[in-house]
Structure 1
Amino acid sequence: MNMSEMGEVVAYLLRYRSAERVPGGGRKRRAAREGQLSERDVCALIDDASDLEREALRDFLAGQGLRLKTFEAGDFPGIAPGSRYYALLPDPELEQPPLYTRQPVFEALKLRQESRSELAQWYLQLWLLMNTLLYTRYNRALSDVSRYQEATFASHELLDLLRDQLEALRALGEAAPETSRVLLEERGEDLNRRVRAFIDLQVRAGLLEASGASGEDASPGDIWQQTLLGALECEQIGIHQLGHLQALAEGRLAEETA
């Protein structure tokens, strides 16, 4: 793998965040597109790289605050026998460069002239509710990465949860947190549009993928499944970004039982 090929591998990984030698779940390999390698070629280049070339790739990614993790069949369900799954993840021990911004989130969720803090509120609410569907209702911890294939939800379920959340917030009246009151200013189809935009963001980031329809009222594209990459990233967030919340909850529990 020469420097030019390494650049093409990194460009592919930055776009899709993951690559599989033999895609699982019936997914077809991503074909080559203008200016970009195919998934088959990316995997072949990584597989065939020498130790020195792999080290150079690791160093290159580390300079951007990223780490390429490799998983074999048997590490997690869904990885086909003889396959290999490559996941590009932020390295929690490294600082993320300014290049990685939240701008795509703001642009996707923006409906009018909302401030960044208001859009961040919308994203946080939707992210927490999505994880209620992917984790809480399955009695699943963030560390339960191997259960990612059973973690599915329908678009309307996320929309219904959001509506319930806003009704509960509205019922608080003046007691509602001031920072959250902006969520009550929705109009018409705003909630539906924000949910669709949020799901599209997760799909583009490789954290969700369309699942087969199930149930009379479901159709292809309405059901979403967490990807292995999404489960790995949630586990990492739980360990490195939300760990203090676990400590806080355990402290409160100890006070209540004392």
Structure 2
Amino acid sequence: MNMTEMGEVVAYLLRYRSAERQPGSGRKRRAAREGQLSERDVCALIDDASDAEREALRDFLAGQGLRLRVLEAGDYPGIAPGSRYYALLPDPELEQPPLYTREPVFDALRLRQESRGELAQWYLQLWLLMHTLLYTRYNRALSDVSRYQEATFTAPELVELMRDQLEALRGLGETVPEANLSLLDERGEDISRRVRAFIDLQVRAGLLEPLREGAEEGGEVWQQSLLGALESEQVGIHQLGHLQALAEGTLEDSGVDRDEPRGEPRAEEGEA
């Protein structure tokens, strides 16, 4: 893998976030596009790379705050025998460079002249409620990556959950947290439109995928991808782990650094 090929591999991974030697979910391998390699070629280049070339790829990605996690058949369900799954993930130990902007999120969720803070509240609420559907209702922990194939929901379910959340906030009356007040200004089809935009963001990021077994009466069924499950696990360990201690009232007493996650060991992972 020369430097040109390495750049093409990284460009592919930045676009799709994952690649499979033999997709096991029933989807077809992604074909080459103008100026971009096919999925087959990307996997072949990584597979055939020498140790020195893999080290160079690791260094290249680390400079962008990223790491490539490599999974074999048997590591998680859905990886076909003889296949290999490559997942591009943010490295929690590295600082993310400024080029990873939140602007696509703000642009997708904006309906009027909402501030970035207001749009961030919408995204946070939808993200948490999506995880309620993918984890809480299945009695599933963020570390239960292997159960990602059973984690499904429909857009109407997320809309209904968001409506329930807003009703609960309204029930607080004057004690509604100031940060949540903007959520109560929703009107008409605002919730449905934001849910559609939110789901589209997750699909474009490779974190959700349509269930190809057919849609239910409630609408198209969305399934968490393996990449989405891996990223949620990583978020739970490295960004949300301190909440367990906070909920237990032990954060101040334990002497734990607020930036040091607790509650789950670091997952062992293969890297390119």
Segments ≥4 residues shifted beyond 2 Å: 212-215
Q: Residue 159 of structure 1 aligns to a residue in which SS?
A: helix
Could you say which residue in structure 1 is the equivalent of 2:247?
249
Q: Residue 130 of structure 2 aligns to a residue in which SS?
A: helix
Same amino acid, percent of matched pairs: 82
Q: Residue 68 of structure 1 aligns to a residue in which SS?
A: strand
CA shift for structure 1 position 249: 1.7
> Which aligned pairs between 1:111-190 and structure 2 lie closer than 5 A?
111-190=111-190
Q: Residue 97 of structure 2 aligns to a residue in which SS?
A: coil
Change (3 A) 1:46 1:106: same
Q: Which amino acid aligns with 1:125?
A: Q
1:215-237, Cα deviation, whole Å (9 max, x unpaired): 4x145xx1100000000000000
1:20-53, Cα deviation, whole Å (9 max, x unpaired): 0000111100011011000000000000001110
Could you say which residue in structure 2 is the equivalent of 1:59?
59
Gaps of 5+ in 2: 254-272
Could you say which residue in structure 2 is the equivalent of 1:84?
84
Pick from 223, 226, 241 the counterpart of residue 225 of structure 1. Answer: 223
Gaps of 5+ in 1: none
CA shift for structure 1 position 8: 0.3
Determine which structure has greater relative contact order: mean sequence separation of CA pairs < 8 Å that are 6+ residues apart, divided by chain length. 2
Could you say which residue in structure 1 is the equivalent of 2:23?
23
Query: What is the RMSD of the two structures over their aligned residues, measured on CA atoms?
Result: 1.2
1:236 aligns with 2:217: no
| CA distance in structure 2 between the aligned counterparts of 1:209 and 1:178, rounded to whole angstroms | 35
| CA distance in structure 2 between the aligned counterparts of 1:249 and 1:176, rounded to whole angstroms | 20
TM-score if structure 2 supplies the norm length? 0.90
Q: Which amino acid aligns with 1:103?
A: E
| CA distance in structure 1 between the aligned counterparts of 2:157 and 2:50, rounded to whole angstroms | 47
CA shift for structure 1 position 214: 5.1
Higher helix fraction: Structure 1 or Structure 2? Answer: 1
1:197-223, Cα deviation, whole Å (9 max, x unpaired): 0000000000000013354x145xx11
Q: Residue 86 of structure 1 aligns to a residue in which SS?
A: strand
- How many residues are treated as equivalent by the alignment? 250
CA shift for structure 1 position 167: 0.8
| CA distance in structure 2 between the aligned counterparts of 1:169 and 1:42, rounded to whole angstroms | 48
Q: Residue 31 of structure 1 aligns to a residue in which SS?
A: coil
| CA distance in structure 2 between the aligned counterparts of 1:181 and 1:100, rounded to whole angstroms | 28
Q: Residue 79 of structure 1 aligns to a residue in which SS?
A: coil
TM-score if structure 1 supplies the norm length? 0.95
Could you say which residue in structure 2 is the equivalent of 1:213?
214
Verify the 8 A CA contact 2:156 2:218 in the aligned structure 1: no
